[in-house]
């Protein structure tokens, strides 16, 4: 029996398969070569993320084997088979979510948690103080129980809030910062995000709940790492020894300090320490002022010389909620720096009801926080109504012709005070916004043209700029968010601005030093001097 004939040039099935496979390999090699050429030309030798189109990922990698893309690590790119199980974890907006809390975990009143009388939705979103974070890190299970209770209470107390389940069921992104969507350290536990493992974030003024991209353990470590870096306490080596004097204990949690020194650390002496090198460049140049600022300068000098009515110029500051415009504290001084108003406010019930109507939870929390803060201030009088404030202003000669200077971007301080008085029937007490000079952005403009060697400029925040210019030993340095203090500091910085606009040859010798207190005071001496001199102007004796 003869063998079947084979046609010349007609490949068998096996031959055809081999040829097609070889062609496919050639195409793959060609595509990889083309990708490499594209990377070398367009991405400086880097390979773009393979999910660039689907997720707008701009990450670049050294080779095609890297899997550091944020979307990949979190599990956004699940297989088709796995996606339905992930989708089932997403809840409808109107569904409840009962969190099972392990009764073995620590209970009671735990720092970082939430109690019934203090349940603003963003309570836990604030960064921990550094030492407290260290303590929390040591008691991670207790904190976990606390935030789980917080999540449960939020979901039950605010059922109307929309729930964004975008990250439910995905993987934690890890404790490291995300740079260009590249993950450098994955979650050591491989944790999955849900309402029992991650703290709820509140967005849209309390209208929406969503989960963060980190599991609670990683979130705490991430915050702790940021605080170490911010305060320049981040260690340089894994086996670093404590940098404390005569201490040879191992450093704690990637810091420069051991556990005991880290718990005892209470921060740098002043917030402006990082900007001391920028003081000389900021004051070296002659500053500029536009017509409105020069008008206030002339009015200031004229009033100080007694040529103008003392009530024609006031320096104003408020402690208030800029969203609701509810005022909690008023501080005001004249052109000589003498205090003229230092009061907490008392609203009529009808006015307060209008402010509170429709107020969201975020602004409710802000109002409570400002109110608690101002209660600790030693104001001249505890509270004054709108009528009492208006009567006091009229007694002092303040009128719609008075000019006001505020430390703000806008004239909001003056308009908020005027609107409160008018809402309770006190009209024609204050001027319109056209007679208010928000001096902060004028000073900031001059600071920006005098950067330091590293390109930075001095921030225009009172907490930084005032002690930097006036000295850390000034009686008002470090006393932030007190309306009377901030009004007085605005007055001093306006005086500095006036002098800085003069040519150096026209400035009196030692003019800045005359405004500063001598160095070398102890903290106790500074505090006593503050009470004596500052409140003496308000007609109040030291207690």
Determine the average pLDDT of the residues in 525-535: 39
b/e 69-101 (16+ beta carbons within 10 angstroms → b): bbbbbbbbeeeeeeeeeeeeeeeeeeeebeeeb
Q: What is the pLDDT of residues 79-107, one digit of tens each?
A: 434 444 443 444 333 333 333 333 332 22
Q: Is residue 174 part of a domain?
A: yes
Residues 443 and 503 in one domain: yes
104, 194, 126, 256: CA torsion to nearest 10: 70
Provide the domain count of the chain. Answer: 3
**For residue 221, which of 258, 161, 174, 158 has the smallest C-alpha distance?**
174
How many CB atoms neighbour CB 388 within 10 A?
Answer: 15
Which position has the higher pLDDT, 383 or 85?
383
Q: What is the pTM of this model?
A: 0.52
**Lowest-pLDDT range, 55-59, 334-338, 379-383, 472-476?**
55-59
* DSSP class of 118: B
β-pairing, 47-48 vs 60-61, is antiparallel
- 174: exposed, middle or buried (Cβ count in 10 Å: 0-12, 13-18, 19+): buried
Q: Tokens 């308009």 — which residue? A: 415
Considering only CA atoms, which of 105, 172, 90 is closest in space to residue 144? 105
- For residue 241, is it within any domain? no
Residue 316, SS3? strand
What value does the mean pLDDT take over residues 486-508? 93
pLDDT band at 296 (very low <50, low <70, confident <90, very high): very high
Domain extent for 39: 32-62
Which has more confidence, 2 or 199? Answer: 199
Provide the pLDDT for residue 4. Answer: 43
21-27 mean pLDDT: 50
Supply the pLDDT for residue 481: 83
Same domain, 307 and 449: yes
Strand order across the 201-203 sheet: 162-164, 208-210, 201-203
Between CA 291 and CA 417 the distance in angstroms is 26
CA distance 428 to 430: 6
Q: Does 179 share its domain with 220?
A: yes
Are 365 and 326 contained in the same domain?
A: yes
Q: Please give the pLDDT value at position 301.
A: 96
257 located within any domain: no
In a domain, 13, yes or no: no
Q: What local confidence, expressed as pLDDT, does residue 275 receive? A: 67
Read off the pLDDT of each residue in 524-533 and give the average, rounded to a whole number: 38
Indicate if 221 and 298 belong to the same structural domain: no
Q: What is the pLDDT of residue 211?
A: 81
Helix axis angle for 440-448 and 483-500, nearest 10°, is 50
CA distance 183 to 332: 51
- Return the closest-CA partner of residue 234 out of 262, 195, 193, 269: 262
Residue 54's pLDDT is 54
Q: What is the largest CA-CA distance in the chain?
A: 133
Which pLDDT belongs to residue 91?
Answer: 37
Task: Please tell me the predicted confidence (pLDDT) of residue 414.
Answer: 97
Sheet of 339-346: strand order equals: 381-385, 339-346, 326-333, 313-321, 403-406, 436-438
**Four-CA torsion 402, 405, 408, 411, nearest 10 degrees:** 20
pLDDT of residue 68: 61
In this structure, is residue 194 part of a structural domain?
Answer: yes
Write the DSSP assignment of 397-462 as a string of letters: T--TT-EEEESSSSSHHHHHHHHHHHHTT--SSS--GGGEEE-HHHHHHHHHTS--TTS------H
**Does residue 249 have a pLDDT over 70?**
yes
Residue 371 vs residues 320, 360, 368, 380, 437: alpha-carbon distances, Å: 9, 17, 5, 17, 27
Q: Quick: pLDDT tens for 464-474.
A: 888 888 877 78
**Strands 201-203 and 403-406, sheet pairing:** unpaired
Q: How confident is the model at residue 357 (pLDDT cuts 50, 70, 90)?
A: confident
Burial class (CB in 10 A: 0-12, 13-18, 19+), 68: middle
Which of 192, 214, 230 terminates a domain? The answer is 230
Ranking 28-32, 211-215, 298-302, 379-383 by mean pLDDT, the lowest is 28-32
Q: Is residue 430 part of a domain?
A: yes
Co-location of 101 and 38 in the same domain: no
Would you state the pLDDT for residue 227? 73
pLDDT, residue 15, reads 52
DSSP 517: P
423 and 384 within one domain: yes
Residues 306 and 190 in one domain: no
Per the document, the length of the chain is 543
Q: Tokens for 243?
A: 């940098």
Q: How high is the pLDDT of residue 326?
A: 94
Confidence bin at 72 (pLDDT 50/70/90):
low
Are 360 and 212 contained in the same domain? no
- Compute how many other C-beta atoms are within 10 angstroms of the C-beta atom of residue 351: 15
Let me know whether 518 and 395 are in one domain. Answer: yes
Q: Hey, what are 498's tokens?
A: 């006036």
Same domain, 89 and 225: yes
Cα–Cα–Cα angle for 346, 340, 332, rounded to 5 degrees? 70
361, 121 in Cβ contact below 8 A?
Answer: yes
What is the per-residue pLDDT for 134?
Answer: 38
Same domain? For 448 and 521 the reply is yes
Contact 481, 319 (CB under 8 A): yes
The pair of structure tokens assigned to 124 is: 């836990």
Cα-based angle 326, 480, 284 (whole degrees, multiple of 5):
120
- pLDDT for residue 377: 76
* Residue at 491 is within a domain: yes
Tell me if 8 is assigned to some domain: no
Is residue 460 predicted with pLDDT exceeding 60? yes
């Amino acid at each position: 029996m003869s063998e079947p004939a084979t046609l010349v040039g007609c490949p068998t099935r096996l031959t055809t398969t081999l040829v097609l496979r070889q062609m496919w390999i050639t195409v793959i090699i060609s595509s990889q070569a083309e990708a490499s050429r594209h990377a070398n030309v367009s991405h400086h030798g880097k390979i773009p993320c393979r999910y660039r189109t689907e997720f707008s990922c701009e990450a670049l990698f050294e080779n095609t084997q890297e899997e550091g893309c944020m979307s990949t690590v979190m599990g956004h790119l699940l297989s088709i088979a796995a996606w339905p199980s992930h989708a089932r974890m997403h809840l409808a907006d109107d569904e409840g979510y009962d969190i099972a809390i392990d009764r073995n975990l620590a209970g009671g009143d735990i720092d970082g948690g939430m109690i019934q009388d203090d349940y603003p939705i963003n309570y836990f979103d604030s960064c921990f103080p550094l030492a407290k974070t260290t303590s929390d890190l040591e008691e991670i299970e207790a904190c976990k129980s606390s935030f789980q209770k917080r999540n449960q209470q939020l979901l039950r107390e605010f059922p109307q809030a929309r729930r964004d389940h975008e990250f439910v069921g995905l993987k934690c992104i890890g404790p490291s910062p995300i740079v260009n969507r590249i993950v450098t350290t994955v979650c050591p536990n491989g944790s999955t995000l849900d309402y029992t493992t991650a703290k709820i974030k509140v967005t849209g003024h309390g209208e929406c709940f969503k989960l963060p991209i980190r599991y609670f353990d990683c979130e705490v470590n991430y915050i702790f790492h940021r605080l170490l870096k911010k305060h320049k306490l981040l260690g340089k080596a894994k086996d670093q020894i404590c940098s404390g004097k005569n201490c040879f204990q191992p450093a704690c949690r990637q810091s420069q300090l051991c556990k005991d020194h880290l718990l005892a650390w209470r921060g740098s002496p002043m917030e402006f320490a990082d900007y001391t090198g920028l003081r000389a460049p900021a004051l070296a140049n002659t500053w500029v002022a536009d017509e409105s600022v020069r008008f206030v300068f002339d009015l200031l000098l004229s009033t100080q010389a007694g040529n103008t009515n003392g009530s024609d110029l006031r320096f104003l500051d408020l402690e208030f909620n800029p969203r609701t415009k509810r005022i909690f504290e008023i501080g005001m001084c004249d052109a000589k720096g003498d205090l003229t108003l230092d009061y907490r406010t008392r609203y009529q019930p009808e006015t307060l009801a209008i402010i509170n109507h429709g107020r969201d939870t975020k602004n409710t929390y802000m109002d409570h926080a400002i109110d608690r803060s101002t209660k600790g201030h030693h104001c001249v009088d505890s509270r004054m109504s709108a009528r009492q404030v208006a009567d006091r202003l009229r007694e002092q000669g303040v009128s719609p012709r008075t000019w006001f200077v505020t430390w703000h971007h806008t004239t909001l301080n003056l308009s908020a005070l005027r609107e409160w008085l008018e809402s309770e029937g006190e009209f024609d007490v204050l001027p319109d916004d056209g007679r208010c000079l928000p001096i902060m952005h004028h000073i900031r403009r001059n600071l920006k043209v005098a950067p330091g060697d590293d390109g930075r400029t001095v921030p225009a925040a009172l907490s930084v700029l005032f002690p930097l210019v006036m000295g850390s030993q000034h009686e008002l340095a470090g006393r932030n968010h007190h309306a009377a203090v901030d009004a007085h500091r605005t007055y001093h910085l306006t005086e500095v601005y006036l002098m800085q606009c003069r040519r150096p040859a026209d400035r009196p010798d030692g003019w800045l030093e005359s405004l500063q207190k001598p160095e070398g005071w102890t903290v106790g001496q500074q505090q006593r001097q503050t009470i004596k001199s500052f409140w003496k102007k308000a007609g109040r004796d030291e207690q």
